[in-house]
Structure 1
């Protein structure tokens, strides 16, 4: 009996030591990450970082968080962010976001709120912190701009996961359901006759090949480059109008893409109607644009064209569009 009691006491002491070590590591890593952001020129402010949950959990809370990215000037502010994990599975993290937070840009301020948010981040159980997967689901997200417009959706889903058979390759997916644009469309004359207030579905599915894994160095601020993009699906369904894009690109070390993306649009003339009503081009240009698209590959109500990236340039069919954008990750 005494031996059993001794074993239990030793086990409890060892577990307590493990929790204290894990607690210190959580605290140290979060504080270190904030300091690294400041060293990189960010504004990284918080009022408190605390970790609780003894004996079986590590529940870390960052209070009054404010982050500003120096290149874009975009700021994210939140009253708190929480990271929750079991003490025996610290590499599997649940993230808790507040229902209300703020995104500020040099042009406007966005009030973001939602009915609920669920996020998870799974790492490989090693010191490299290689990302295995991450998921985010927002129920009822709404964005209100300081410029007076509002957009909302019933649900937004995002996921990324490592592809086991290809090193430094990640599958990325996104789905936005019932995106309401009523405030924006109300400013365009007769828009209600062309499109419903809601975009039914916006969906994306792609594979990204990166020049290094998303691991500790990435989370500490090292930028990653894209070397391959396989776009399986980028699609929009808005009333009778549907749009899709798919194709493959290879990307050079300096971010220049090469390859082809096939664009397909059904009921595409309704988009021209909306653009004309929004005064994006002169009415006299409408006929020229429509005729050009028909000649390029517009069969009745379906338009299908290749978006070609080659030699640092991009073209839509045979029409040159100019210099290709540089594709770089984060």
Structure 2
């Protein structure tokens, strides 16, 4: 019995020692990350950082975090956020965000409110801690701009995982449901569409130029390619989807081909006309063009268009329609 008691005491002592060493390492890692962000030319400030959770957890609470990038004008601040993990599994953390956060930019500042916003982040248990997967869940989200506009969504689901094919590639999935655009937008097309967008969904595989790991602030991973499995929007009787592959060109602009499918194009043109995107005098021309493109299609209300990004320009067929998105 004495031997058993001695063993229990020794094991308890070892576990206590492990927890305090691990807690110090957790705290040091967080402070080193802040220092790395500051050294990279960005701004990072916190009011306090505390690690609790003895004996089975490492729970880091960061009070009044502020992050900003002077180069882009982007910033984020909140009352707090927490990084929670089991002490025997520190490579898997849960990140819990405050109910209100502030997003800043050079154009406009935005407040994000949510009933729940949490992320699960899992790294591979090796020294570099390369990212294995992320799951982000948000409920009853509302974006409020300083300009007076507001957008809400009932649910957000975002997830990534290491792709089986391709080095430094990750599969990405995003789903937003029951999105309520700002009232000033929905008022422009009256009853042509319901007040909520039922679904926005994205499935893609993104490859990066370097691993996303604890050295990412030094290696600066950038997008190498995006394979778009499907991007889809369902809004009332209108459906929009896109598939394709793009890569950054030498200037960082997207280059490649995307196939766009528009379901119920007559209603889509009605909405575009009511919003002033299409002038009433040009409506007949648009109807004729759409009718020509669907002349041999089985579904005359569904139109498919090739969207090409080349030399920094976005083109539908031979016609330029805007600037290609920048990937780097």
TM value normalised by structure 1: 0.90
CA gap 1:287/1:72 in 2 versus in 1, 3 angstroms: farther
Q: Secondary structure at the match of 2:231?
A: strand
- Aligned: 1:268 with 2:261: no
Report the alpha carbon displacement of residue 167 of structure 1 after superposing the two structures with TM.
2.4
1:91 alignment counterpart: 91
Report the alpha carbon displacement of residue 42 of structure 1 after superposing the two structures with TM.
2.0
Q: Secondary structure at the match of 2:79?
A: strand
CA distance in 2, matches of 1:312, 1:107: 23
1:90-138 superposed Cα distances (whole Å, 9 cap, x missing partner): 0110111111111122232222111212310001011111111111111
1:6 alignment counterpart: 6
CA gap 1:314/1:280 in 2 versus in 1, 3 angstroms: closer
- Aligned: 1:193 with 2:158: no
1:178 alignment counterpart: 178
Q: Secondary structure at the match of 2:72?
A: coil
CA distance in 2, matches of 1:323, 1:147: 26
- Aligned: 1:150 with 2:147: no
CA gap 1:105/1:254 in 2 versus in 1, 3 angstroms: closer
Q: Secondary structure at the match of 1:28?
A: helix
CA distance in 1, matches of 2:13, 2:149: 57
2:54 alignment counterpart: 54
Report the alpha carbon displacement of residue 187 of structure 1 after superposing the two structures with TM.
4.5
Residues paired across the two proteins, number: 325
Gaps of 5+ in 1: none
CA distance in 1, matches of 2:159, 2:248: 23
Give matches, 1:1-330, under 5 Å: 1-188=1-188, 191-218=189-216, 220=217, 222-251=219-248, 255=252, 257-296=254-293, 300-310=300-310, 313-321=313-321, 324-328=324-328
CA gap 1:80/1:269 in 2 versus in 1, 3 angstroms: same
Report the alpha carbon displacement of residue 257 of structure 1 after superposing the two structures with TM.
4.3
Gaps of 5+ in 2: none
Task: Please say if residues 163 and 170 of structure 1, whose CA atoms lie closer than 8 Å, have aligned partners that are also in contact.
Answer: yes
CA gap 1:292/1:222 in 2 versus in 1, 3 angstroms: farther
CA distance in 2, matches of 1:254, 1:161: 29
CA distance in 1, matches of 2:71, 2:281: 40
CA distance in 1, matches of 2:165, 2:2: 52
Report the alpha carbon displacement of residue 297 of structure 1 after superposing the two structures with TM.
5.2
Report the alpha carbon displacement of residue 153 of structure 1 after superposing the two structures with TM.
1.2
Task: Please say if residues 227 and 252 of structure 1, whose CA atoms lie closer than 8 Å, have aligned partners that are also in contact.
Answer: no
CA distance in 1, matches of 2:173, 2:115: 22
CA distance in 2, matches of 1:291, 1:18: 73
- Larger CA deviation: 65-74 vs 317-326: 317-326
Task: Please say if residues 185 and 192 of structure 1, whose CA atoms lie closer than 8 Å, have aligned partners that are also in contact.
Answer: no
Report the alpha carbon displacement of residue 269 of structure 1 after superposing the two structures with TM.
3.2
Task: Please say if residues 96 and 119 of structure 1, whose CA atoms lie closer than 8 Å, have aligned partners that are also in contact.
Answer: yes
1:262-301 superposed Cα distances (whole Å, 9 cap, x missing partner): 1000112333333332333543344444444444557532
CA distance in 2, matches of 1:309, 1:108: 28
Q: Secondary structure at the match of 2:73?
A: coil
